[in-house]
Amino acid sequence: MIEFVKKLYGSVTSRTRCVRCTTLLLACSICLFLGACHVARRHTTQSSTAKPILFAEPNPIPAGDPGQALATTKITWDTGDETTGDLYVKIDRADEVFIARAPSGTMKIDWIQFDSRYEFRLYAKKRSKLLTKLEVTRDD
């Protein structure tokens, strides 16, 4: 094996090896730089156009058994820009109730009743700005 390497590189001068190594290092540096630029550009583009997300699965919630007073849904939210969001729910005409605080998340809601209107609201900056809202219903 050593003889093969000597035959392969034996005629290459030290200066030629230095030029090849420098070229290889320069090419790798350029690739890393371009890759970092692409990631930064993609991240900037995504964050500037990302929209807040708020959805429930299932919605509407199936009626279930006649004796089943409560039903379950899964609420998923995302502020769209990594800032902290506050999730609230307004049930019928009652005041809003705080549920969670995070940039994104998923939460099981297992207290959905018949004949009530549930409006989930996602806020930014401690309720200073409403990002989106969602009405969740239950089939009769």
Q: What is the pLDDT of residues 69-117, one digit of tens each?
A: 899 999 999 999 989 999 999 999 999 999 999 999 999 999 998 888 9
Buried b (16+ CB within 10 A) or exposed e, 5-41: eeeeeeeeeeeeeeeeeeeeeeeeeeeeeeeeeeeee
User: What is the average per-residue pLDDT within 32-39?
Assistant: 56
Could you tell me if 113 and 89 are in contact, meaning their C-beta atoms sit under 8 angstroms apart? Answer: no
Q: What is the mean pLDDT of residues 20-34?
A: 58
Question: Percent of the chain having pLDDT more than 70?
Answer: 64
Asked if pLDDT for residue 57 goes beyond 50, the answer is: yes
Whether residue 32 has pLDDT greater than 70: no
Check the CA dihedral 129-124-87-108 and report its sign.
positive
* pLDDT tens digits for range 1-11: 556 545 555 55
- pLDDT at 124 exceeding the cut of 80: yes
The pLDDT assigned to 55 comes to 95
Mean pLDDT computed over every residue of the chain: 79
